[in-house]
Amino acid sequence: MGQQKTAPENGTRESERRRTILRAAIDVFARKGYHGCRIADVAKEAGVAYGLVYHYFKNKDELLETVFETGWSGFIARARAVAESEGPLVEKVHRIADVAFEAYRVDPRAVKVLILEIARSPAGARINRQTAFVDVIRLSAQMFTRAKEAGELRPDVDPLLASALLFGSIEMGLTAFVVGLADARDTAMLERAKAQIADSFLHGVLLSPAKEEAPQLQDEAPLKREKAAPRARAPKRG
């Protein structure tokens, strides 16, 4: 975007302050929502003077926009890498789910903001939001198109829609955690959810008669359990 702007990110010291503020913004946005918070809140959270926020960011919008770009660009880059890589579709789908859930594991707040404040919302800002959003869908739609040509997909499946469904599943799966429907504490659960999303998407949820190829069919352990006996440690994606 336009340089000559607000943020001199050349050095490293200055950036530190800037990052502090950005971090605070993410946390506050996650807690109270973009519209529900004041710049003052962000400043306070960052332990910084009100005015300084405006020293580093042109305005409130730019703040959100930056949060968006920071978080989203990382995600989309990884997603693109997967989508454009070689290999069987099954694997790619799993890896995309990996990317999303890993992002959540690393920084749930940021993901929350991305999901709750940015992904939707027709509103205001010039932000690409929708554009960006649409981009991923298109991106993975291409992946599905190629997979279809390779005969990996059922012939009656539309790539674009399949793409929407995959991300819809992932997003809603994450939302379940974000919203507290499922307990986000337990890493094992996240791991299970991730696997299940990919599997369900690929194989469906039905108990179909023939299922020789379905991968991990360990019997279910409930998604939301009491206090989680200290058992399964997540495989840590290795």
- Minimum CB–partner distance for residue 216 and a second copy (Å): 7
Residue with token string 């290795």: 238
Residue 18 or residue 42: which is nearer to a second copy going by CB? 42
- Minimum CB–partner distance for residue 55 and a second copy (Å): 26
Dmax over CA atoms of the chain, in Å, equals: 65
Residue 8 or residue 36: which is nearer to a second copy going by CB? 36
In the numeric block, which tokens belong to residue 121? Answer: 């919302």
By CB under 8 A, the residues from 183 to 222 that bind a second copy are 192-193, 196-197, 199-214, 216-220, 222
Nearest Cα residue to 52 out of 12, 13, 7, 10: 7
Contact 27, 45 (CB under 8 A): yes
Residue 86 or residue 212: which is nearer to a second copy going by CB? 212
CA distances from 216 to 18, 90, 196, 199, 211 (A): 45, 13, 9, 9, 11
231 binds a second copy (CB under 8 A): no
- Minimum CB–partner distance for residue 25 and a second copy (Å): 15
Binding site for DNA (CB under 7 A): 8, 14, 17, 37-40, 48-52, 54-55, 59-61
> What is the C-alpha separation between 27 and 33, in angstroms, rounded?
9
> What is the C-alpha separation between 114 and 33, in angstroms, rounded?
11
Contact 97, 170 (CB under 8 A): yes
Show the binding pattern over residues 93-112: x = contacts a second copy (CB under 8 A), - = does not.
Answer: -------------------x
Residue 8 or residue 215: which is nearer to a second copy going by CB? 215
Residue 76 or residue 164: which is nearer to a second copy going by CB? 164
